[in-house]
Amino acid sequence: MKKLVYLILPLMVSFLYAKSLLTKEEVSFLEKHKELKVCIDPNWMPLEKNEKGKHVGMSADYLRLFEKSLNIKMTMVPTKTWNESLKLGKNKKCDIFSLVMPIEERKEFLNFSKPYLEIPLVLATKDNEVFIDDITEVTKTMGVVKGYAYAEVLKDKYPNLNLVYVENIEDGLQKVDQGKIFGFIGILSTIGYNIQKKYTGNLKIVGKFNEKLNLGVGIRKDYPILVEIFNKAIDNIKYEEHQLILNKWLSIKYEKVTYKYLLEIVVVFFLILGIIIFVNRKLSNEIQKRKRIESHLKRVIKGAKLGTWTWHINEDKNVINNRLTEILGYTKEELSNKNHLLFIVEEDRAFVNKALEEHIEGKQPYEVCYRMLAKDGSIKWILSNGSIVKKDNEGNPLIMAGIHQDVTESKKLELELKRQNEFIVQQSRQAAMGEMLENIAHQWRQPLSVITTSASGIKIKSELSQLDQKELFEFMNEIIKSGMYLSQTIEDFRNFFKKDKKERNILSTVLIEKSLQFLKSKIKNREIKVITDIQIKELVVYENEFIQALINVFSNAIDALEKVENKKYIFVTIKESKNKYIIEIKDNAKGIEDKVLPRIFDPYFTTKHQSQGTGIGLYMTKEIIEKHFLGKIEVTNEDFNYQGNSYTGACFKIKIPKNG
């Protein structure tokens, strides 16, 4: 009876909550229909996908929230293409579309809820193309997916764009990669996902439109009551729930390889080893005790889903339990008495052999993660631990034993997170590169003007026969100096994007100078004065990564000061405590709004106009400081005095360990 109560209680709570959220008429509608049929785009990751009959992606996570708040089941109608889904919707085979943009053509058979996702449109091209400020000026052929709402919006709004239809996202990116079209237009999340998955190093994002896709739920026309029901369900989604889904599918994380269960594995291993030795010594007197212990160990191993192996080194014979056969899909007979290294993927055999040799030589414990080829052709990741358990009289190893476990799913997650990390890092660097190029263009105007003026002077004086050797040398010196300045700017730009492999000493003054180097034109044009308080001579850090983090903070301060009418200041303090470096960057731009302050480091959050910011600069800074340097960054609003005047501004405080 208690079990029945525990099963029913969550359903009752959800049902009562739904009733409090909805009107009687809305509750009656849901009780009558019991289940809603859902159509999706079957190939639109990370937003949504039909993966072997299962609905996955961001929209799937949102539908689970709707199911919970409305207490109604939502079932995906499987389709192969988006156009097939639209046809089913027109024929009322679908009650709702999980993620859709409202356009006139669809209003004939659908109503629309308020949007719950807003995502920018971007252009992807080959990796060798330059960044594009205004995509609407591009005259080359660009692909859009036929049937997608934004394709029709762009055709109507920008009739001069040379747009062609492609079958799907994969078809569009493939044609760009093959040079059949110049670029492909899509939303940031799906293009970034697919480039990272298949086209890293070949394609990149070169620009974005001002338009964003406002995506909500599409509802069949004859169910108008569902519009308000879903609007209430969307309003009921908490900010934390939105952020959890975004972080799951879009955010980056610097993952470090950890061995969560290492202690447990080692304990079990040595428990097994100790029992084997103990039993061998006491075999004649303790047969019954051995049986009890072996029975207990089998339960432990089976419960932990661990495989055991015993390698007789001289005979090259390997004895295993059933777990490895379950993982790889072979029979026990196919694996027994064979060297399990033969089943390891060829590329991994060298480092596995090396790990075994080093353990046999006594250099280090045997612990390695490698790939094995299953019988069905799939790849399985195996974490294996072991040690020598028997030697001959001369100390030569005879038997090595250990355990292994299937870590395929965690390894896939690790690799996927790594891909997402690399994508957003690349996205951040591309944004930084675009801004730096803009500043470099401003910095080059003066030396280019000197070169042009000197060359013109040489030409005119030569034509008038008034050019003497002294003047010629003066002109040439100016041209050489300006050319060297341009060359140094290019070299600094190239060095910035090289990833540091080790920490290095950098003078505090040089750190600030390099961080502001590509922002000089903005600082000069906006008449901003930078005040420094350098209390330590140098820091030991990963130079380029730390400069990138500081540039994002400086850039934020410069943008905030744009609206200040009087004197504009940025104050920079570098000091130290016993174990940490402390860097404070403060402005007098009147501070950050209280409602914005808690979200300032969230991914894709920005208070700028959509054409001016991506919302990843400060998020990237936080990730670099906390995940790479193991430090901390925080921001507060501060009131302060300078030269007899009172000011208010945002203060970013960065603390990193001295051995970070």
| pTM (two decimals) | 0.37
Phi-psi sector, 477: left (phi>0), alpha (psi -120 to 50), beta: alpha
C-alpha closest to that of 215 among 302, 106, 296, 126: 106
pLDDT at 182: 93
- Which residues have CB under 8 Å from 335's CB, separation 6+? 318, 320, 324, 325, 328, 343
Q: What is the overall mean pLDDT for the chain?
A: 79
pLDDT in tens, 580-637: 999 999 999 999 888 888 888 876 666 654 444 445 678 778 888 888 888 999 999 9
Cis peptide before 46 (omega within 30 of 0): yes
pLDDT bin (cut points 50, 70, 90) of residue 291 is low
pLDDT at 446: 56
Whether residue 5 has pLDDT greater than 60? no
pLDDT in tens, 309-346: 777 878 777 777 777 777 777 777 776 666 667 778 88
The one-letter amino acid code at 263 reads L
Apex CA 458: angle with CA 452 and CA 462, to 5°? Answer: 150
Which domains does the chain carry? 118-213 (3.40.190.10), 262-406 (3.30.450.20), 500-657 (3.30.565.10)
Mean pLDDT of the region 224-243: 89
C-alpha closest to that of 219 among 230, 232, 211, 205: 230
Apex CA 282: angle with CA 277 and CA 287, to 5°? Answer: 105
Mean pLDDT of the region 420-433: 58
CA atoms within 13 A on the CB side of 406: 16
Q: Using an 8 Å Cβ cutoff, are 433 and 131 in contact?
A: yes
For residues 240, 245, 246, 250, the Cα torsion angle rounded to the nearest 10 degrees is 150
pLDDT bin (cut points 50, 70, 90) of residue 34 is confident
C-alpha closest to that of 326 among 410, 405, 412: 405
pLDDT at 143: 94
Q: Find where tokens 């003007």 sit.
A: 449
Residue 153 burial by CB count (10 A; 0-12/13-18/19+): exposed, middle or buried? middle
